[in-house]
Structure 1
Amino acid sequence: MSTDDRPKATPGGGVPPLVLVSGPQQILAERAITSTLDALRSLAPDVEYIRVDMETYEPGQIGMQCAPSLFGGDKCVVVRGAEQAGDDAQADLLAQIERPEPGVTLVVAHAGGNRGKRVVDAMKKNRARVIEAPAIKTDKDKNDFAVNEFRRNRRKATPEAVRALVEAVGKDVRELASACKQLIDDTTGLIDERVVATYHGGKVEATGFRVADAAVAGNAAEALRLLRHALASGVDPVPIVAVLAVQLRQLVKVAGAGRASSNSLAKTLGMAPWQIDRARRALNGWDVEALGRCIQAVAAADEAVKGGGRDPVYAVEKAVLTICAERSGRHR
């Protein structure tokens, strides 16, 4: 069967016979599969859902599952882990992609990499719908994810609230999604930093981000209070020093970026627009030489907390006090 002769209609009305979910972010991939099933069931509530895992694949399984049912009806065959597909599995998938069965929607989830790339290429060649599930790694990625969580649920959250939420629960994207859902379900109106603090106040206060903010602002008393609270709460000195370094590097980048809008600079600097705006506000009272000295102090603290010094707590406190002193001008 040629490409042009492939069945065009599917039980879901708007879902093509082939759907490729491409990317490593599991929560996005799961949502893509769920939304595809929901679309199919909107017009064919009895569509049969069949899951095929490449980890336990047996030769011929794709052909068997995609074969027309003796009792009729439509099918949605979801293949997970296509990046793990062996030669037999890829051959079976390619055969189904080139000669799809009427009434069958084939959904292939591929997390990335070269293995299984023939399947990905064949899906695209045969006009599969491609749904991206890109990795969410950086703070900017997590910020954008959280903003979209609120937006798609028709809720508004301030940039400060989003930042506080990412700082509190942003290590795991699934946990971040759950935290967003909790705020959406349990609150009304604008979600601001105070709302986030009500639900995640302990976690927010014990993060290195608050320590860094206070230090960059030159508030030594508050920086030390937050630092000691974080350490007493079990936060390791290593990530605190890492956050200090990130904050200082962001100040240096923004200081040298010119006066273009934060939106236009975001992609170039690898920062969210609100991070650029915050850095610009924080730069008041700083010069490049002082920032350079602070970065050197934090580098020394980084070496100390990773085994190069006798007292990690003293090392990070010294770095924090150095930043505060540079901000207040006592070292100039």
Structure 2
Amino acid sequence: MSDGADTSEAVAEVAGDKSARPQGGGRRRQWEDEARDALHIMPLSAIPLETPGLQHARLIKNVRLQTVVEMFHDVQTGSGQVSPRHLTAYFESYKEEVERDLVKIEKIAAASSFDVYTSRIELRRLNIDVNSVESLTLSDRKKEELTNYMRVFTRPLVEYVYGSEDMQVQDVKDIIGMFSNPNRDEALRNLRMMADRLDIELGEIPQFLEEYGDIFLSLAYFKKCLDDIVPEIQRFLSWMAEIRSSTEVKRDARQMRMLDEISRDLTDISTSITGRFESFDNRSKDFWRDINAETFHSIRELIASHHVTIGGVLCGLAVKMDLWKARFARGGGGPNRRMEFVKSEILPGLSHIKSLEQSARSASA
């Protein structure tokens, strides 16, 4: 939606809820789940707003890492986007309400990512309750998708209590149910030992498991995002490297230098954030080698402290790679077209992603 769009028509569409979100139960659920599971989308329904119509809009990060309000999205009309500061033009009958809502929206818009974990942090800073907001949790489909990733963290837990990983465990709920009624004397003894080492009562073990599950589900979510993005970055770098064969580009030292810098930055960012996840894995193994309250609180705080920067880095990389795949679905593209895409869509915001990753590495050094 451009700034010159017909404002009355846009308001009618959104306020009447005709195109602010897909119609039909299945499509609506898919639309909502997409937002919950994405790195770059926050449903405005997660925020208590006064302006009618805004509840069905979404904040999204575009490829330049700018935050825009997506007023509607469908196959026929595409994505209708507007800068937050221009919202008053689309809701002329609710100017006072929009102005009050903008105070919240603009603060949240400054976040580097809109994944559910970063969003919770940002909303808590505004004293907004996040515990009862469904859109700030991963969808059931995403949780199921992360089952294999979660096994890395649930396996040592099961082994510690039962001495075997040969148990049918799909997620943390299964573990809580299993541990609430241990079917072996040895398992009960191990649970008591765990409670003692964690300095909690045996009856508090389910709460510990909930916390354990939440923190490592967040890690599994980000790890899955990383595993999806890294191969795309490698493909993109190979595609971008082909521009060098152009005689015109070879003659332009400035453009060659820009390609070198982008390639180096994307490689460094990917290597660095991958190293962070390896560090988390090592710390979680340390916890199971020496279970105690201090090591658990330490790893929980460590992972939580990285949510914002991990989300921001992955969000930035994801929106850029997604646009590249959409624009060049079959690869290809002449040297000039490729160079223009790199300059106009990949380069803007890349320094922000790089600085986010560097700040995280410096803080944990």
Larger Rg: 1
TM-score, normalising length from structure 2? 0.22
TM-score, normalising length from structure 1? 0.24
Relative CO higher for 1 or 2, CA cutoff 8 Å, sep ≥ 6?
2
